[in-house]
Amino acid sequence: MSWSSRLAALLPGTVARDTGGTEPDPRFTFANERTFLAWSRTALALVVAGLGIVQLLPPFPRVPAGRHLLGVPLIALGAVLAVVAYTEWVRNQHALRRGEPLPQSIMPWILAATITGMAVISAIVLLISALG
Amino acid sequence: MTTPQAPWPAGGPQRGHEQDEAGDDPEEIAGLARERTSLAWTRTAISFAALGGVVLKANVLTGLIILAVVPVIWHLGRVTRGSVTGTSLSVIGPRRLFIIAVTIAAVALLCLIVAIFGQAVPGALR
Protein backbone atom coordinates (compact mmCIF):
# COMPACT_ATOMS: atom_id res chain seq x y z
CA MET A 1 0.00 0.00 0.00
CA SER A 2 1.37 3.41 -0.94
CA TRP A 3 1.79 6.19 1.57
CA SER A 4 -0.96 8.34 0.07
CA SER A 5 -3.54 5.55 0.20
CA ARG A 6 -2.46 4.78 3.78
CA LEU A 7 -3.00 8.42 4.70
CA ALA A 8 -6.35 8.48 2.88
CA ALA A 9 -7.44 5.42 4.89
CA LEU A 10 -6.91 7.44 8.09
CA LEU A 11 -9.16 10.35 7.12
CA PRO A 12 -12.36 10.45 9.19
CA GLY A 13 -14.60 10.26 6.13
CA THR A 14 -12.97 7.03 4.96
CA VAL A 15 -13.13 5.54 8.45
CA ALA A 16 -16.82 6.42 8.80
CA ARG A 17 -17.58 4.65 5.49
CA ASP A 18 -15.88 1.45 6.69
CA THR A 19 -18.65 -1.14 6.48
CA GLY A 20 -16.49 -4.24 6.88
CA GLY A 21 -17.46 -6.58 9.70
CA THR A 22 -20.28 -5.51 12.01
CA GLU A 23 -20.87 -2.51 14.23
CA PRO A 24 -19.04 -3.43 17.46
CA ASP A 25 -20.64 -3.44 20.89
CA PRO A 26 -20.90 0.26 21.86
CA ARG A 27 -19.06 -0.53 25.10
CA PHE A 28 -15.98 -1.42 23.05
CA THR A 29 -16.37 1.70 20.91
CA PHE A 30 -16.62 3.78 24.08
CA ALA A 31 -13.57 2.04 25.59
CA ASN A 32 -11.57 2.71 22.42
CA GLU A 33 -12.65 6.36 22.54
CA ARG A 34 -11.61 6.67 26.20
CA THR A 35 -8.21 5.21 25.39
CA PHE A 36 -7.77 7.82 22.67
CA LEU A 37 -8.85 10.59 25.04
CA ALA A 38 -6.44 9.34 27.73
CA TRP A 39 -3.57 9.51 25.22
CA SER A 40 -4.74 12.99 24.18
CA ARG A 41 -4.51 14.14 27.77
CA THR A 42 -1.05 12.58 28.03
CA ALA A 43 -0.06 14.59 24.95
CA LEU A 44 -1.47 17.79 26.48
CA ALA A 45 0.34 17.09 29.76
CA LEU A 46 3.63 16.76 27.84
CA VAL A 47 3.00 20.12 26.15
CA VAL A 48 2.25 21.73 29.54
CA ALA A 49 5.40 20.20 31.03
CA GLY A 50 7.56 21.34 28.13
CA LEU A 51 6.16 24.84 28.18
CA GLY A 52 6.52 25.01 31.96
CA ILE A 53 10.21 24.04 31.73
CA VAL A 54 10.98 26.66 29.08
CA GLN A 55 8.91 29.48 30.55
CA LEU A 56 8.99 29.05 34.32
CA LEU A 57 12.29 27.39 35.31
CA PRO A 58 15.22 29.62 36.18
CA PRO A 59 18.00 29.26 33.58
CA PHE A 60 20.62 26.57 34.21
CA PRO A 61 24.02 28.07 35.03
CA ARG A 62 26.57 27.31 32.29
CA VAL A 63 23.91 25.63 30.09
CA PRO A 64 22.12 28.57 28.41
CA ALA A 65 20.13 26.28 26.07
CA GLY A 66 19.31 23.79 28.83
CA ARG A 67 15.66 24.74 29.25
CA HIS A 68 14.98 24.57 25.54
CA LEU A 69 16.87 21.29 25.29
CA LEU A 70 14.42 19.81 27.81
CA GLY A 71 11.21 21.57 26.90
CA VAL A 72 11.12 21.60 23.10
CA PRO A 73 11.34 17.79 22.65
CA LEU A 74 8.50 17.34 25.15
CA ILE A 75 6.23 19.73 23.25
CA ALA A 76 7.09 18.09 19.92
CA LEU A 77 6.36 14.67 21.40
CA GLY A 78 2.96 15.95 22.50
CA ALA A 79 2.10 16.73 18.87
CA VAL A 80 3.37 13.33 17.70
CA LEU A 81 1.47 11.48 20.44
CA ALA A 82 -1.85 13.14 19.53
CA VAL A 83 -1.55 12.11 15.88
CA VAL A 84 -0.39 8.56 16.66
CA ALA A 85 -3.25 8.22 19.17
CA TYR A 86 -5.71 8.91 16.36
CA THR A 87 -4.11 6.36 14.01
CA GLU A 88 -4.18 3.79 16.83
CA TRP A 89 -7.86 4.53 17.40
CA VAL A 90 -8.57 3.91 13.71
CA ARG A 91 -6.63 0.61 13.77
CA ASN A 92 -8.40 -0.54 16.95
CA GLN A 93 -11.82 0.33 15.57
CA HIS A 94 -10.97 -1.52 12.35
CA ALA A 95 -10.03 -4.62 14.34
CA LEU A 96 -13.07 -4.33 16.64
CA ARG A 97 -15.45 -4.26 13.68
CA ARG A 98 -13.97 -7.49 12.35
CA GLY A 99 -13.54 -9.26 15.67
CA GLU A 100 -9.78 -9.45 15.06
CA PRO A 101 -7.24 -9.31 17.89
CA LEU A 102 -6.32 -5.72 18.72
CA PRO A 103 -3.10 -4.56 17.01
CA GLN A 104 0.03 -4.07 19.05
CA SER A 105 0.33 -0.44 20.12
CA ILE A 106 3.63 1.39 19.65
CA MET A 107 2.58 4.30 21.86
CA PRO A 108 3.84 2.94 25.22
CA TRP A 109 7.18 2.31 23.53
CA ILE A 110 7.32 5.89 22.17
CA LEU A 111 6.45 7.28 25.60
CA ALA A 112 8.93 5.09 27.49
CA ALA A 113 11.75 5.82 25.05
CA THR A 114 11.11 9.56 25.30
CA ILE A 115 10.92 9.59 29.09
CA THR A 116 14.20 7.66 29.25
CA GLY A 117 15.80 10.06 26.79
CA MET A 118 14.55 13.10 28.71
CA ALA A 119 15.85 11.67 31.99
CA VAL A 120 19.30 11.19 30.45
CA ILE A 121 19.31 14.73 28.98
CA SER A 122 18.14 16.15 32.33
CA ALA A 123 20.92 14.35 34.18
CA ILE A 124 23.54 15.61 31.72
CA VAL A 125 22.25 19.20 31.86
CA LEU A 126 22.17 19.13 35.67
CA LEU A 127 25.67 17.63 35.90
CA ILE A 128 27.15 20.21 33.52
CA SER A 129 25.45 23.11 35.28
CA ALA A 130 26.50 21.86 38.72
CA LEU A 131 30.07 20.76 37.99
CA GLY A 132 31.05 22.59 34.81
CA MET B 1 -33.47 6.23 37.16
CA THR B 2 -33.86 6.03 33.42
CA THR B 3 -31.33 4.04 31.49
CA PRO B 4 -29.63 6.21 28.87
CA GLN B 5 -31.01 5.45 25.46
CA ALA B 6 -28.80 3.12 23.49
CA PRO B 7 -27.22 4.85 20.47
CA TRP B 8 -26.93 1.74 18.30
CA PRO B 9 -29.65 0.72 15.87
CA ALA B 10 -28.90 -2.98 15.63
CA GLY B 11 -26.10 -5.44 15.97
CA GLY B 12 -25.15 -4.09 19.39
CA PRO B 13 -25.52 -6.07 22.56
CA GLN B 14 -28.25 -8.64 22.43
CA ARG B 15 -31.59 -7.16 23.26
CA GLY B 16 -34.43 -9.03 24.80
CA HIS B 17 -32.22 -11.08 27.07
CA GLU B 18 -33.74 -11.36 30.47
CA GLN B 19 -31.65 -9.88 33.23
CA ASP B 20 -29.58 -12.62 34.86
CA GLU B 21 -28.47 -10.58 37.84
CA ALA B 22 -28.87 -7.06 39.05
CA GLY B 23 -26.52 -4.77 37.12
CA ASP B 24 -25.98 -7.30 34.36
CA ASP B 25 -28.31 -5.56 31.97
CA PRO B 26 -26.23 -4.81 28.85
CA GLU B 27 -27.98 -1.49 28.38
CA GLU B 28 -27.11 -0.46 31.91
CA ILE B 29 -23.47 -1.47 31.45
CA ALA B 30 -23.36 0.44 28.16
CA GLY B 31 -24.85 3.39 30.05
CA LEU B 32 -21.98 3.23 32.53
CA ALA B 33 -19.45 3.00 29.69
CA ARG B 34 -21.07 6.03 28.14
CA GLU B 35 -20.83 7.88 31.44
CA ARG B 36 -17.12 7.02 31.84
CA THR B 37 -16.53 8.25 28.31
CA SER B 38 -18.43 11.44 29.06
CA LEU B 39 -16.18 12.01 32.08
CA ALA B 40 -13.12 11.36 29.92
CA TRP B 41 -14.30 14.08 27.52
CA THR B 42 -14.73 16.45 30.47
CA ARG B 43 -11.21 15.70 31.74
CA THR B 44 -9.84 16.32 28.25
CA ALA B 45 -11.58 19.70 28.10
CA ILE B 46 -10.18 20.55 31.55
CA SER B 47 -6.70 19.57 30.34
CA PHE B 48 -7.07 22.05 27.49
CA ALA B 49 -8.13 24.70 30.01
CA ALA B 50 -5.07 23.94 32.16
CA LEU B 51 -2.78 24.25 29.13
CA GLY B 52 -4.52 27.52 28.21
CA GLY B 53 -3.85 28.82 31.71
CA VAL B 54 -0.14 27.99 31.51
CA VAL B 55 0.20 29.51 28.04
CA LEU B 56 -1.68 32.62 29.18
CA LYS B 57 1.27 33.35 31.46
CA ALA B 58 3.70 33.12 28.55
CA ASN B 59 1.69 34.67 25.74
CA VAL B 60 -1.75 36.17 26.30
CA LEU B 61 -3.06 35.84 22.73
CA THR B 62 -2.04 32.18 22.34
CA GLY B 63 -3.48 31.42 25.77
CA LEU B 64 -6.81 32.97 24.83
CA ILE B 65 -6.87 30.96 21.57
CA ILE B 66 -6.37 27.72 23.50
CA LEU B 67 -8.99 28.68 26.11
CA ALA B 68 -11.44 29.38 23.26
CA VAL B 69 -10.96 25.77 22.13
CA VAL B 70 -12.20 24.43 25.49
CA PRO B 71 -15.96 24.81 24.88
CA VAL B 72 -15.51 23.29 21.40
CA ILE B 73 -13.87 20.19 22.91
CA TRP B 74 -16.61 19.90 25.51
CA HIS B 75 -19.21 20.25 22.80
CA LEU B 76 -17.58 17.43 20.79
CA GLY B 77 -18.20 15.13 23.75
CA ARG B 78 -21.94 15.76 23.63
CA VAL B 79 -22.53 12.42 21.90
CA THR B 80 -21.54 10.66 25.10
CA ARG B 81 -23.94 12.71 27.16
CA GLY B 82 -26.95 11.22 25.45
CA SER B 83 -28.27 14.30 23.68
CA VAL B 84 -27.50 12.65 20.35
CA THR B 85 -29.28 9.35 19.97
CA GLY B 86 -30.05 7.03 17.15
CA THR B 87 -26.90 7.97 15.26
CA SER B 88 -24.36 5.24 14.79
CA LEU B 89 -21.32 6.00 16.93
CA SER B 90 -18.98 4.76 14.22
CA VAL B 91 -20.22 7.40 11.80
CA ILE B 92 -19.73 10.42 14.07
CA GLY B 93 -16.76 9.01 16.01
CA PRO B 94 -13.89 9.43 13.56
CA ARG B 95 -14.54 13.08 12.74
CA ARG B 96 -14.66 14.17 16.38
CA LEU B 97 -11.49 12.32 17.31
CA PHE B 98 -9.72 13.56 14.19
CA ILE B 99 -10.56 17.13 15.20
CA ILE B 100 -9.12 16.50 18.67
CA ALA B 101 -5.89 15.03 17.27
CA VAL B 102 -5.43 17.88 14.80
CA THR B 103 -6.24 20.48 17.48
CA ILE B 104 -3.66 19.07 19.89
CA ALA B 105 -1.02 18.94 17.15
CA ALA B 106 -1.78 22.56 16.20
CA VAL B 107 -1.78 23.68 19.84
CA ALA B 108 1.54 21.90 20.40
CA LEU B 109 3.04 23.72 17.41
CA LEU B 110 1.73 27.05 18.78
CA CYS B 111 3.33 26.23 22.12
CA LEU B 112 6.55 25.29 20.36
CA ILE B 113 6.62 28.76 18.78
CA VAL B 114 5.87 30.38 22.14
CA ALA B 115 8.56 28.28 23.83
CA ILE B 116 11.22 29.06 21.27
CA PHE B 117 10.49 32.72 20.49
CA GLY B 118 8.43 33.77 23.50
CA GLN B 119 9.74 35.94 26.29
CA ALA B 120 10.63 33.57 29.12
CA VAL B 121 9.65 34.67 32.61
CA PRO B 122 13.08 34.37 34.17
CA GLY B 123 12.95 32.26 37.27
CA ALA B 124 9.21 32.37 37.82
CA LEU B 125 9.55 29.23 39.93
CA ARG B 126 12.54 30.45 41.87
- Chain A residue with minimal CA distance to B52? A48
Q: How far apart are CA A55 and CA B60, in angstroms?
A: 13
Residue type at A88 in one-letter notation: E
> What local confidence, expressed as pLDDT, does residue A29 receive?
86
Q: How confident is the model at residue B17 (pLDDT cuts 50, 70, 90)?
A: very low
Phi, psi dihedrals of residue A63, rounded to the nearest 5°: -125, 80
Whether this model's pTM surpasses 0.90: no
pLDDT score, position B18: 45
Closest partner CB to A55 (pick from B95, B121, B126):
B121
Tell me which of B35, B65, B112, B117 to substitute to probe the interface with A (most A C-beta atoms closer than 10 Å): B112
Mutate to test the interface with B, among A7, A19, A56, A97 (most CBs of B within 10 A): A56
Chain B residue with Cα closest to A25: B12
Which residues, at least 6 apart from B88, have a Cβ–Cβ distance to it below 8 Å?
A: A23, B7, B8, B9
Q: Is the pLDDT of residue B106 over 70?
A: yes
Indicate the residue type of B31: G
Give all strands (DSSP E) within chain B, no chain letters: none
Q: Is the ipTM of this complex over 0.90?
A: no
pLDDT tens for residues B23-58?
Answer: 567 667 777 888 888 889 999 999 999 999 888 888
Read off the pLDDT of residues A63-85 as tens digits, 9 standing for 90 and up. 888 889 999 999 999 999 999 99
> Interior CA angle at B58 toward B53 and B61, to 5°?
75
Distance, in Å, from the CA atom of B22 to the CA atom of A132, rounded to the nearest integer, reads 67
Looking at the complex, report in whole angstroms how far the Cα of residue A46 sits from the nearest Cα belonging to chain B.
Answer: 9
Q: Rounded to an integer, what distance in angstroms lies between the CA atom of residue B74 and that of residue B97?
A: 12
DSSP at B78: G
Average pLDDT over every residue of B64-77: 89
